Structure 1
């Protein structure tokens, strides 16, 4: 057994995606081989926040030691075996304060960063590798500023973490979106209907735009451009007319907005990062295009409205979401071995690299509408693909 060099902590935060377990596996196997102890924090930042600094306390719900045997098989599976949460240690509500800290934190909203740093020190965690989207990684930036040695790995179906062309989970998401949309065509064609499919994408429309570019849909509406529903109806009617099977397809980002309107939420409750739960824009568009279609046709056209939701984020990762997490995990270990921290591992123009982790909070990564989205046709621009990255429109930073 090689001499232990220190301890590395890993956690996964935010929504689950295929590819998280392969990343955990890659980090752990390489780290153990290099002589490090590896600790997996459970339930994202919640495990780091809620643990008790007592060697005799039962912290099995907060963290566990990871070994090659622990992670080897889980690398083939989807989701995250360490579990996840949307806990934000900077904004912990009073009713979510761990019982052993209730006497110390009594505000409505509490910053528990001091406890996080003490907990990491108590466990001897020298390096921390959070795997997550811009919310999870924004807190990693905070810890970096506090002096913690952090290396971030980007994960999100929306592919909207700044500083990288690719985030774990995106390929599986769009692969399934394309496949499921094509499957639903049989029903749309059988009944000569519009097919409106709602996909993930709160602020960025990559998950609707890329599948549409790949031929999954005739049109798409994205968060970056507030669309005119009359224009969308006219375009779908024209697409339906030219289709021998008399149907047309539109992909809708969950964060898309009607012209003059705002985002549609299921309710007004917020998570600890300030986000309300989106959902319902696809159904609203379906109702409107059905109603408006009677103005252009002898009768209203019925609509199949489908929200793909968790179907595109569950199950096993595809090839890219098996390969990229493996590479990201090893990139993180390379940085640790050279004493380099405060970085985000990334992919840019087909090459693996890393950038300062502060890039995560420096700007919002969204679709460049002028370059990539035809606002008159409500579909992607099909221009030159020379020297573009794999997913075409994700290298603008």
Structure 2
């Protein structure tokens, strides 16, 4: 059997999205045909942290060698068969330090990067391909800075990784949001209510803005601009009166804030290893205030609310067409870069063309909606004055 050109490691970190398995498949199939060995690291960065560098130890829980048979079976499905986590090896809590390292790492927060590099060397991994958002990829940048060859692939429902117009998972998120919103219209219309839908978007409002532009909602509120609740109630009441079935719809980004309460709402106080608390609750607050304010704008009558958090419904299941095609292209782009001997790059889609940029772009700034250009703060709606030479998803360009 011919000796492999090298060994490529691949992992998925952060939240699951449709399109991860097609990306893993694309990387693996191309890499194997180019003469590489491919190892899938399980549970994101957790797999390489928990691995015991001893050939006598069973590490099958932490990694697996990938074959065409394995990836072809999973490649058309949603989620990630390698599993995922929000582990951050440079900020590992004491409780997450694996048993074989507890004598060495005794601080409340630990940087286990030295052991991550040793474990990658133990597996013989020459190049690492992390697939994730800016949190996952920021640690990929750290490994690149430590001398590891890294080619990154952007993934996130929020489409907020800098350096690319598109991230894996975003199209399916928008497609599902439109579909579910239209389904819920039947109930809102039957009962003549306001329909409030909370959608993803911690810092960036693309997942609320794009479906609204596509006609899924009358209004949307996004993290980039604090909104006035009275103003929203007035606008939705106006929309409701205009509609033949007496209802109106607003999409609320989970990271949106009100002018009288300028902090995000969280489900609890516990934060993940990247410092993020789990968002949730702004949709409930909007629904409550709408009901309370509704008599003021509806001749003294209270209007009830259909309130739904879409959450995992838009990130589960199979990928749509975009999230089947783009991951295939991203995977092949990653292999092209490896064959060229490149490192420290992020594959990207910019101005309608596939490309790549330096990976350090993921920590250089936040990618958010350009409010002045794409969002009307008066109408709480997207602005789209001209489509000429705009990217496919209009307001998602990252220039």
TM range (shorter): over 0.9
Alignment-derived partner of residue 272 in structure 1 = 273
State how far apart, in whole Å, the 2-side matches of 1:140 and 1:355 are. 14
- Local SS of the residue matching 1:72: helix
- Local SS of the residue matching 1:386: coil
State how far apart, in whole Å, the 2-side matches of 1:231 and 1:290 are. 14
Alignment-derived partner of residue 207 in structure 2 = 207
Structure 1 residue 58 and structure 2 residue 58: aligned?
Answer: yes
- Local SS of the residue matching 2:264: coil
- Local SS of the residue matching 2:55: coil
Quote the offset at 1:45 in angstroms. Answer: 0.1
Quote the offset at 1:2 in angstroms. Answer: 5.0
State how far apart, in whole Å, the 2-side matches of 1:334 and 1:76 are. 23
Judge conservation of contact 1:198–1:307 (CA < 8 Å) in 2: yes
Alignment-derived partner of residue 147 in structure 1 = 147
Quote the offset at 1:393 in angstroms. Answer: 1.2
Deviations 1:202-252 (A, max 9, x none): 000000000000100000000000000000000000000110110000000
Alignment-derived partner of residue 83 in structure 1 = 83
Judge conservation of contact 1:42–1:83 (CA < 8 Å) in 2: yes
Matches within 5 A, 1:1-397: 3-261=3-261, 262-297=263-298, 298-397=300-399
State how far apart, in whole Å, the 2-side matches of 1:61 and 1:20 are. 19
Judge conservation of contact 1:2–1:34 (CA < 8 Å) in 2: no
Judge conservation of contact 2:221–2:256 (CA < 8 Å) in 1: yes
Deviations 1:262-284 (A, max 9, x none): 10000000000000000010011
Judge conservation of contact 2:256–2:264 (CA < 8 Å) in 1: yes
Number of residue-to-residue matches in the alignment: 397
State how far apart, in whole Å, the 2-side matches of 1:176 and 1:360 are. 27
State how far apart, in whole Å, the 2-side matches of 1:61 and 1:350 are. 39
State how far apart, in whole Å, the 2-side matches of 1:382 and 1:125 are. 46
Quote the offset at 1:396 in angstroms. Answer: 3.1
Judge conservation of contact 1:16–1:84 (CA < 8 Å) in 2: yes
Quote the offset at 1:78 in angstroms. Answer: 0.3
Quote the offset at 1:382 in angstroms. Answer: 2.4
- TM superposition score normalised by structure 1: 0.99
State how far apart, in whole Å, the 2-side matches of 1:244 and 1:296 are. 18
Check 1:9–1:292 CA distance in 2 against 1; reply closer, same or farther (3 A cut).
same
State how far apart, in whole Å, the 2-side matches of 1:260 and 1:53 are. 54
Segments of 4+ in structure 1 off by > 2 A? Answer: none
State how far apart, in whole Å, the 1-side matches of 2:67 and 2:321 are. 24
- Local SS of the residue matching 1:304: strand
Judge conservation of contact 2:164–2:398 (CA < 8 Å) in 1: no
Deviations 1:313-345 (A, max 9, x none): 000000000000000000000000110111000
Judge conservation of contact 2:49–2:89 (CA < 8 Å) in 1: yes
State how far apart, in whole Å, the 2-side matches of 1:49 and 1:309 are. 29
- Local SS of the residue matching 2:138: helix
State how far apart, in whole Å, the 1-side matches of 2:138 and 2:95 are. 23
Quote the offset at 1:85 in angstroms. Answer: 0.1
Check 1:163–1:54 CA distance in 2 against 1; reply closer, same or farther (3 A cut).
same
Quote the offset at 1:3 in angstroms. Answer: 3.8
State how far apart, in whole Å, the 2-side matches of 1:59 and 1:294 are. 62
Unpaired stretches in structure 2, ≥5 consecutive residues: none
Judge conservation of contact 2:219–2:381 (CA < 8 Å) in 1: yes
